[in-house]
Amino acid sequence: MPLPGHAALDLGPRTLVMGILNVTPDSFADGGLYDDVERAVQAGVRMAGEGADVIDVGGESTRPGAEPLPEDEELRRVIPVVRELAGRVTIPISIDTYKARVARAAVESGASIVNDISGLQYEPALGAVAAETGAALILMHTRGRSRGMYERAQYEDAPAEVARELEAAIARAVDAGVRRESIVVDPGLGFAKRAEHSYDVLARLDALASLDRPILAGASRKSFLKRALGERPPADREWGTAAAVTASVLHGAHIVRVHGVREMVDVVRVADLIRAARDSVRAPQS
């Protein structure tokens, strides 16, 4: 996948790990930990040292029920972190935003990937930003805004419906001028999906293979894991996250988005070898 200012990302030989860097006071998993620029940059540098392949910087919490963040405040939070981090790590930086102005400023400051949770539904102009800057574009599946997303969590066949709606998102991006080879799809585990929908989508992640685009899976510490783990705070869901990350790799994810980089790099490396062994058995004998 081509990236502006970076070597192309090689998606396929091994699963890539995207480290989550939330510079927010109210993120569900780590709100307030990195709401200071230097602390955030140090955390990003640490993630790179622990084996992250990409760092995803976000300034607005999009957890269910979250209030929208004013654009100027989002810029204030993320741009100094992106700019400083770009000068201190060699791996690509992603900006987690659905706002066109924030995305453009972040790419100008050193980001090379735009991670849009709305799949170009909230601000279609974001597609033009990705096209003009050459940034890679991650299109996530969701329905509605954060405050009312669960009201639209109604599916007959969640994996098939997610695939169809992501296909429409790809069409929106291509119509805006984004190159198809610059697009990644994300099924949006936990977004506009109840727990049973997220497990169904994860179990049938390969339903997205028909889109012929790389797949990003983000299960880290999400509330759907409570269906298996019971009530516990997000930081205590790492073992559940490890299981979901393993399933993501085995079912075809090219990138996994995680909070605990050091731990999940180990999980991914083992899962990659399991997948490789499985695929070698399935391969036809010559």
Residues 210 and 238 sit within 8 Å (Cβ to Cβ): no
Cα–Cα–Cα angle for 100, 105, 110, rounded to 5 degrees: 125
Does 222 qualify as catalytic in the annotation?
Answer: yes
Per-residue pLDDT of 137-156, as tens digits, reads 999 999 998 777 888 899 99
Buried b (16+ CB within 10 A) or exposed e, 117-137: bbbbbbbeebbbbbbebebbb
Q: Which of 204, 221, 257, 275 is the catalytic position?
A: 257
Over residues 72-106, the pLDDT tens digits come to 999 999 999 999 999 999 999 999 999 999 999 99
Read off φ and ψ for residue 61, nearest 5 degrees: -70, 130
Q: 263 and 238 in contact (C-beta within 8 Å)? A: yes
> What are the tens digits of pLDDT across the range 106-145?
999 999 999 999 999 999 999 999 999 999 999 999 999 8
* C-alpha triplet 46, 70, 149: angle, nearest 5°: 85
Catalytic residue among 222, 227, 275, 278: 222
Please confirm, yes or no, whether 213 is among the known catalytic residues: no
Task: Show the tokens assigned to 24.
Answer: 């927010």
pLDDT at 28: 46
- Give the CATH number of domain 16-282: 3.20.20.20
Is this prediction's pTM over 0.85?
yes
